[in-house]
Amino acid sequence: MILFAAAAAYLLRLTKSQAEPPAITVPPFEKINGDEKWARFAIALTDDIVTDVAGFRDFPVIA
């Protein structure tokens, strides 16, 4: 309990300039069957999501 309170106090003391902006992680989609067209679809869908989210300057994207 004390450790939790100390961690909360530390995080509350951070100013906006010290805090890192939130980042968005986009894990790749996986195909669930052996059909190659679904594998290409999963790759394309992941690429589209990463591209769209990367357009926001406030959120760095980890892909």
CA 23 to chain centre: 5
Is residue 38 in some structural domain?
yes
For the chain, the domain total comes to 1
Angle subtended at Cα 58 by Cα 57 and Cα 60, rounded to the nearest 5 degrees: 80
Is residue 1 in some structural domain?
no
Is residue 23 in some structural domain?
yes
Tell me: pLDDT of 18 over 80: no
Is residue 5 in some structural domain?
no
This prediction has a pTM of 0.57
- Condensed to tens digits (0 to 9), the pLDDT of residues 2-13 reads 555 666 666 556
State the pLDDT at residue 2.
55
SS (HEC) of the chain: CHHHHHHHHHHHHCCCCCCCCCCEECCCCCCCCCCHHHHHHHHHHHHHHHHHHHCCCCCCEEC
Tell me: pLDDT of 55 over 80: yes
- Condensed to tens digits (0 to 9), the pLDDT of residues 31-53 reads 778 788 888 888 898 899 888 88
